[in-house]
Amino acid sequence: MRVLGIDCGTERTGYGVIDSDGRSHVLVEAGVVRTDAREPLELRLLTIARSLREVIERHRPEAAAVEQVFHAANAKTALKLAHARGAALLTVAEAGLELGEYSPLEVKTSVVGYGRAEKSQVQMMVASLLRLAGPIESEDASDAVAVAICHATTRVVRARMEVAR
């Protein structure tokens, strides 16, 4: 299964595309959509949506996964993050992709085995799981790949549970 993972942000939205059978994962592409903080929010959201559409068109994922909004430093920051997440969710829905949403705790537990892991630990485990020579340079892209890995592994576990019933 090809999965697109998205780590939302208004200045930097990470994305990562993997091929996975739920146990073994292969990196297809990882990157960051960068926006200019001086631009109006609506133009930044447009940039995020257009860029994610291009990634979806280029790689044709079967599913997408997005990190859920968690507490932010202040309400204004949380609202901006929610807007970026909304742009990502709309883009995923437009493409008709299966969607998974995971808390940061779920993603870290799935990838690192510890829900309070540091970003650097997530980067190292993502590189290890993908058998890369080194970590993905951008934390945002690495986090997005971690979300994709979480979705792929969670999906397999859920399918096994359904069979067991």
Give 72's pLDDT tier (boundaries 50, 70, 90).
low
Task: State which H helix or E strand residue 26 sits in.
Answer: strand 25-34
Q: What is the mean pLDDT of the chain?
A: 93
pLDDT at 159 over 90: no
Q: What angle do CA 160, 161, 163 make, to 5 degrees?
A: 65
What pLDDT does 71 receive?
A: 61
Q: Which of 19, 118, 140, 143 is catalytic?
A: 140
What pLDDT does 43 receive?
A: 97
| Total-model pTM | 0.94
Check if 36 is active-site: no
Tens digits of per-residue pLDDT, 87-144? 999 999 999 999 999 999 999 999 999 999 999 999 999 999 999 999 999 999 999 9
Q: Which of 36, 67, 98, 137 is catalytic?
A: 67
Across residues 148-162, what is the average pLDDT? 83
The share of the chain scoring above pLDDT 90, in percent, equals 85
Q: Is the dihedral of CA 59, 94, 147, 143 positive or negative?
A: positive
Check if 140 is active-site: yes
Say whether 14 sits in a helix, a strand or coil: strand
Amino acid occupying residue 34: R
What pLDDT does 75 receive?
A: 81
